[in-house]
Structure 1
Amino acid sequence: MNRHHQGHPPDSELVVAASSTPQAFAIPGRPGRILVTSAMLGALEPAERRVLPAHERAHLARRHSAPSTAVALAAAADPLLTPVRSTVTFLLERWADEEGAGAVGDRRTTVRAPARAALVAQRAQPGCAPHFSEHAVTRRIAALQTAPRPDLWPIGAAVLALGAPPALGAADATGDLLRLPARTLPKW
């Protein structure tokens, strides 16, 4: 058992870590866990504290780590797929936002929670402003305020389907290049 789980029952889904750094994230596995720091919980209003685990629980329930990892590997193999990675990340966050809103039953609170969490995280790292651009928080907030609940699975699947062939082609080409005999390569 790692040190973050100490003091928590082995079957507890929510793990609260005593930390001055405001963070919250889902840890995939069996069982999956939701790690939230005391700084993040302290920064949120009581109603917003319900949104946070609902959002992270959606990531665990829908196994968002699998497509997230796949698209990260594809983007690492082919940097031209970086926009695909950003799109998939955004769609997975929106999916979890919508499931969190449905679980909590209050879209207004669901709008405030990621906004406050991003602001708190940004304040914790002065001089660095990635939290509003990371995962496109402002776009997510706008979508929660105006858009009806979208069906994101077909869009996500289409983005992954369009991104997979170039990534597989790049991997295949790399394998072919590595198998070429040294005598056929040009001398530089």
Structure 2
Amino acid sequence: MRIDVYTPLVLSLLLAAVSPVVGRRVAPALAARVLTAAAVVTAAATTWALVLLAGTLVSEAPPVAAEAHEDGRSLPDPVPGVIAFAAVLALGVIAYRVCRALRAECATRRTLRGLCEGHPQDTELIVAASPVPRAFAIPAGSGAPGRILVTAAMLGALEPAERRVLLAHERAHLTHRHALVSAAVTMAVAANPLLAPVRTTVVFLIERWADERAATAVGNRTTAARALARAALIAVHASPVRALNFTDRAVTRRVAALQAAPPPRLLPLAAAVLALGLLPAIGAADATGDFVQLLARTLPL
């Protein structure tokens, strides 16, 4: 347990380091799925490792210490007490961060769905009479279907072919449930802040994923790149909004990617990332076995 319990923390740093490379070399859809899965497993393993570290404080409990003294037993000391107490504090911070992230996610969903109130349930596209150029994919939930909300200013600034790209992009967000992918990696980072670079990469990949689907839908990568660039230009002065939107700060990279050939899938690299995500779980499982043995020695039946 002295080594295995710390492996999830170390591997978190490794996953964060390799995520930008994976984002550049692997097809966006595959890379986003793989990195998100690896981040979720790693965050769960890291949290469990902290639980195990905090659990070693059982030997510090006065009743346990008194019973061991009466029986003449020496209690094991697998980790320094200061580390165990630090783990308890870290778990409290994690609980706070996860709750805050959940509240923010729910608030964003409620705000977006509130924009669709008063429209028929079977209406996928909602055009808002707003001078601010915006486009949103509003995920389904609470009995409401997924919607696409576009402002009149955005539609008016695009040519017909570019509008098709815009709608195909937002529809891809709904079809492939990108909101769930984004929420999953956000919760993983809330539980393990070391994975923040992974979330940055996944958020970018989600947009790239939708870009590729839009380019395939219209059958023209040049048109898709032009639509993305034009949408970014007209929205450059608008304030950022927390949503899966059509414009973001990485537009230059996205336009360049659409002007090049579609990226390869590179399944071996994706498999290696998944394996990297499983290693923290294996380390945590081994540490759990050591913890069970510790409890057996500390609390004999």
TM-score by length of 2: 0.47
Is 2:129 the counterpart of 1:18?
yes
Task: Report the secondary structure of 1:147's partner residue.
Answer: coil
What is the number of equivalent residue pairs in this alignment? 163
Is 2:151 the counterpart of 1:37?
yes
Name which structure has the greater RCO, CA cutoff 8 Å, separation 6+. 2
Distance across 2 between alignment mates of 1:139 and 1:22: 21
Task: Report the secondary structure of 1:36's partner residue.
Answer: strand
Distance across 2 between alignment mates of 1:81 and 1:60: 25
Task: Report the secondary structure of 2:237's partner residue.
Answer: helix
Shift of 1:106: 1.5
- The structure where helix makes up a greater share of residues is 2
Change (3 A) 1:50 1:155: farther
Shift of 1:159: 6.3
8 Å CA contact retained: 1:98, 1:149: no
Distance across 1 between alignment mates of 2:278 and 2:158: 39
State the match for 1:121 in structure 2: 235
8 Å CA contact retained: 1:17, 1:38: yes
State the match for 2:251 in structure 1: 137
Task: Report the secondary structure of 2:177's partner residue.
Answer: coil
Distance across 2 between alignment mates of 1:11 and 1:154: 42
Distance across 2 between alignment mates of 1:165 and 1:36: 43
Structure 1 residue ranges (4+ consecutive) displaced by more than 6 angstroms after TM superposition: 152-161, 163-166
Distance across 2 between alignment mates of 1:101 and 1:43: 19
Amino acid paired to 1:106? N
Backbone CA RMSD of aligned residues: 3.3
Greater Rg, structure 1 or structure 2? 2
Structure 1: unaligned runs, 5 residues or longer = 126-130, 170-188
8 Å CA contact retained: 1:4, 1:17: no
8 Å CA contact retained: 1:91, 1:156: no
Task: Report the secondary structure of 1:4's partner residue.
Answer: coil
8 Å CA contact retained: 2:228, 2:255: yes
TM-score by length of 1: 0.72
Distance across 2 between alignment mates of 1:110 and 1:97: 7
Structure 2: unaligned runs, 5 residues or longer = 1-112, 240-244, 284-301
